[in-house]
Amino acid sequence: PFSIYERLRQTTPVRYDETRGCWDIFRYEDVHRILKDPATFSSKRSLERGNTVTILTMDPPRHSQMRALVNKAFTPKMVNDLAPRIESITSELLAAVQGKGQMDMVHDLATPLPVIIIAELLGVPAEDRQLFKEWSDALVKGSADSSAEAFERVMMEKDKATKELGAYFAKIIGQRRSQPKDDLISVLLSAEIEGEKLSDEEILGFSILLLAAGNETTTNLITNSVRRLTEDLALQQQLRNDPTQIKNFIEEALRFYPPIQAVSRIATEDIQIGGKQIMAGEQVVNWVASANRDEAQFTDPNTFIIDRKPNNHLSFGFGIHFCLGAPLARLEGLHAIRAILERLQDIQLAPEANLEFIESPFVYGVKAFPITFKA
Ligand code: HEM
C-alpha cells in the first residue's frame, strides 16, 4: 500500500471518501496534530455490537483517571519481569521446529508467543491455556472471504467467544477477589486512584482489550520483522554479528511495516485540516502507515535504516492514547528476533510461498509466512 499512500500524500493529503463516509489523513504533520488534540478529535465510539467501553474509546477526564489506574498495574517492572518467560517460551517454540529446516513464522511462533505471555500476565492457569487461546483467536479473527455470510459468521463467532471469555474472566476475577495472587488481575483489583477502584466489569473490559489490542499486533510485529530479514540477507548477518542493534531494527521495522495502519477519531467541532473543512461529528481516519513514510518527516522514507535518528514513527499512536502495551510489544519483538537469529541460520522465504495479506485495511501483516533455514 505504501506507493498508494505516497501518491495520496501528494495529491489529496486530506480527503473525504464518499463511499466510506469519512475523512482520510495521510501526512505526518496532520496525523500528529490530530492525535495530539483529543478535545477536538474524540476517541469515543457509538456502542456497536460487542463493543465495550475501554480506555481505547474514552476521552478525558475519564480516560486520564482510568489510564493512570491501569498504568499502575502495567509498570515497566511488571513488563521487564516477563523477559525470562518470553525467552524460554520463544526457545521452546523454536526448539519444536528447529530440526525441520522450515516453519511458518505466523503459526509456529508469532501467534502463540503473545497469547501465552498475555495469559500468564493476566493469571490464566496453565491448564486453561488452550481454551483461552481458542477464544482469543476467535476475537481477532478476520474473514477469509468478504461475503456478507462470511462476515456474519465471523461476527457471531466473536460474540460467542466474547461471552465465553467474559464468563471465564468473571470467574477468575471472583477467585482473585477473595484470594489475590501475583498476577495482573489481582493488581487491578487492588489498584486505586483518589479512593476510586475499578469495578469487576471494568477489569473484565480491560482484560479483553489487552487480548484484542495486544495479540494480533504483536504477531504482526514479529512476522513483519522476520519478513524484513528475509528481504535483506546482509542485514540478517549484520544483526547476528551485533545483536545490540536488534533494538533499533525493531523500531525501524515498526516504522516500515506498521502492524496497525490507521487509528480513528471523531471531530467534536468544525475544524480546518490541511485546508479542508471537517465538520463536527465526522469520522477522521489517521493513516499512521502513511505518516511513517512521509518525506517531510523522514529522510529517505522508503529506505530501511536501522539506526535512524530520530525515529519518531507513529506505529504505537501518539498522545494520551499512546499504546499501553508498547514496552511489552518491544520486549517480545526483541527476544523473538534475537532467538530467531541465534537459532536459525540463512532464513529465507520458502520458495513456493505466495504471500497473502490480512484483509483488514487497518492491519498490516501476512496470514502465513513460511520460511526455510539451516539450524
Ligand atoms: C493503544 C498499536 C501492542 C495494549 C494502541 C494504539 C496503537 C497501538 C496505534 C493507539 C490507538 C489510538 O490512538 O486510538 C500497537 C502495536 C502493537 C501493540 C503496533 C504491537 C506491535 C499492544 C500490546 C498491548 C496493547 C502488547 C497489551 C498487552 C494497548 C492498549 C491501548 C493501546 C490498552 C489503549 C491505550 C489508551 O487508549 O490509552 N496500541 N499496540 N498494545 N494498546 Fe497497543
Query: What is the distance in A from the centroid of ligand 1 to the CA of 203?
Result: 17
How would residue 241 be classed by pLDDT, with cut points 50, 70 and 90? very high
How would residue 47 be classed by pLDDT, with cut points 50, 70 and 90? low
Residues 74, 365: Cα–Cα separation, whole Å:
26
This complex has an ipTM of 0.99
Q: What pLDDT score does 144 carry?
A: 52
Of 301, 302, 333, the closest CA to residue 316 belongs to: 333
Q: What is the pLDDT of residues 77-89, one digit of tens each?
A: 889 999 999 999 9
- Identify which of 323, 330, 362, 364 to mutate to test ligand 1's pocket (most ligand atoms within 8 A of the CB): 323
Residues 180, 188: Cα–Cα separation, whole Å:
10
Q: What pLDDT score does 146 carry?
A: 57
Domain boundaries, position 77: 2-374
| Residue ranges around ligand 1 (CB below 6 Å) | 43, 55-56, 67, 118, 209-210, 213-214, 217-218, 221, 259-260, 263, 315-317, 321, 323-325, 328-329
Q: Which of 8-12, 33-37, 59-63, 136-140 has the lowest mean pLDDT?
A: 136-140
The residue whose CA is least distant from atom 30 of ligand 1 is 324
What DSSP string runs through 153-191?
HHHHHHHHHHHHHHHHHHHHHHHHHHS--SSHHHHHHH-
CATH number for 366: 1.10.630.10
Q: What is the pLDDT of residues 173-201, one digit of tens each?
A: 999 999 999 888 998 888 887 788 888 88
Query: What number is the average pLDDT over the span 295-305?
Result: 97
Residues 186, 179: Cα–Cα separation, whole Å:
9
Q: What is the pLDDT of residues 225-235, one digit of tens each?
A: 999 999 999 99
The residue whose CA is least distant from atom 33 of ligand 1 is 324
Instruction: Give the residue with greater pLDDT, 288 vs 45.
Output: 288
Among residues of the chain, what percentage have pLDDT more than 70? 96
Q: How many domains does the chain have?
A: 1
pLDDT, mean over the chain: 91
96 pLDDT higher than 90: yes
